Amino acid sequence: MRIVALAGGIGGARFLQGLRAAVPEAELTVVVNTGDDITMYGLRICPDLDTVMYTLGNGIDTDRGWGRKEETFVVKDELAAYDVPTTWFGLGDRDLATHLVRRTMLDAGFPLSQVTAALCARWQPEATLLPMSDDRVETHVMVELDGTRKAIHFQEWWVKHRASLPALAIVAVGAEAATPAPGVLDAVDAADVVLLPPSNPVVSIGTILQVKGIREALRGKTVVGLSPIVGGSPVRGMADACLDAIDVETSAEAVGRHYGSELLDGWLVDTVDAGATVPGVEVRAVPLLMTDVQATAAMARAALELAGV
């Protein structure tokens, strides 16, 4: 069975662990959001690609959900001693090696997709990880700060401000000119099913769908999504702050309707949201809390069953 999943960071990565446990024999391709990527200290940091790679490669810090396990932050502390302006971003010492390799390969002219393949040679995620695009796309958030409106990088909004500043607009800068990375459209075309894990529907799944050709490629495919919202609030992260920015109610039903029947064939909601309806989409209620790999594998099986594969 060939499966394509569109994924963001922590929630998406956690779901993919369960999916791989549910169908270890399946050929899995993950199209990963790169809108969260940020250049810092000359390094290109790709949070969602690294979170998926470390999670499937068993290198993730499971408590944080991002970055490496057994991580240290000596360099971060040294940077703070120099009073650098971005002490709010936690760059781990082990994680730095990933960014140094990525920077070196990008500077040598390798596209992000090839850099990702090279990094995965070490981590063996047992899935093909593809950036949504090799072109630069960066999510910026328009906020009111110190009395003026300004656009800040998604990471600054998400990490420094914990998404506490109302997002007046969320813009994936560069998405309109970006093209899918090599292999993305072929993988979608060959897929028996496309899954939308419980990632952030705005800044993760939503950003991937803005890359020219990807939404169109999904038409005619069987697409099943899993709600990232349970009982009116995000399972993890601050998707509600993003949904507010696009005037979508924070509910499983509203997110399903936001994706719509153009995109979705099936929509899994948690049992507490049973009764949710999405016109033109088959909705099923199953437990959606990813408490461990077994629970997540059950969700994945339910999604594949709903997809009829």
Q: Where along the sequence are the contacts to ligand FO1 (CB under 6 A)?
A: 8-10, 36, 45, 47-48, 50-51, 66-67, 89-91, 95, 155, 158-159
**Shortest Å distance, C-beta 300 to ligand FO1:** 20
Contacts of 251 (CB under 8 A, 6+ apart): 229, 232, 273, 276
Work out how close the CB of 94 gets to ligand FO1 at its nearest, in angstroms, rounded to a whole number: 11
Closest distance of CB 159 from ligand FO1, Å: 4
Name the minimum Å distance from CB 63 to ligand FO1: 12
Q: Determine the Cα–Cα distance for residues 71 and 94; give it in Å rounded to an integer.
A: 6
Contact 166, 65 (CB under 8 A): no
Closer CB to ligand FO1, 87 or 261, in the complex:
87
**Which one, 72 or 271, has the nearer CB to ligand FO1?**
72
Q: Smaller CB distance to ligand FO1: residue 92 or 266?
A: 92
Identity of the amino acid at 269: V
Both tokens of residue 10?
């922590």
Q: How far apart are CA 110 and CA 30, in angstroms?
A: 20
Amino acid (one-letter) located at 62: T
> Smaller CB distance to ligand FO1: residue 10 or 217?
10
What's the token pair of residue 158?
Answer: 């998400």
In angstroms, give the least distance from the CB of 301 to ligand FO1. Answer: 25
State the minimum distance, in angstroms, from the CB of residue 241 to ligand FO1: 12
- How many CA atoms within 13 Å lie on the side-chain side of 14? 26
Judged by CB, which is closer to ligand FO1: 53, or 217?
53
* Spatial separation of the C-alpha atoms in residues 57 and 107, rounded to whole Å: 25
Task: Please say which residue, 54 or 191, places its beta carbon nearer to ligand FO1.
Answer: 54
CA distances for 14 relative to 9, 21, 153, 258, angstroms: 9, 11, 25, 23
Residue among 157 and 267 whose Cβ is closer to ligand FO1: 157
Task: Please give the sequence-ordered ranges of beta strands (E in DSSP) within the chain, or none if there are none.
Answer: 2-7, 27-32, 38-40, 43-45, 128-131, 138-145, 148-153, 169-173, 193-196, 223-226, 229-230, 233-234, 266-269, 282-285
Least distance in Å: CB of 285 to ligand FO1? 26
Query: How buried is 171 (Cβ within 10 angstroms: 0-12 exposed, 13-18 middle, 19+ buried)?
Result: middle
Token code pair at residue 194: 């496309």
Quote the DSSP letter at residue 284: E
Instruction: Please state the closest distance from residue 38 (CB atom) to ligand FO1, in A.
Output: 8
Nearer to ligand FO1, 51 or 227 (CB): 51
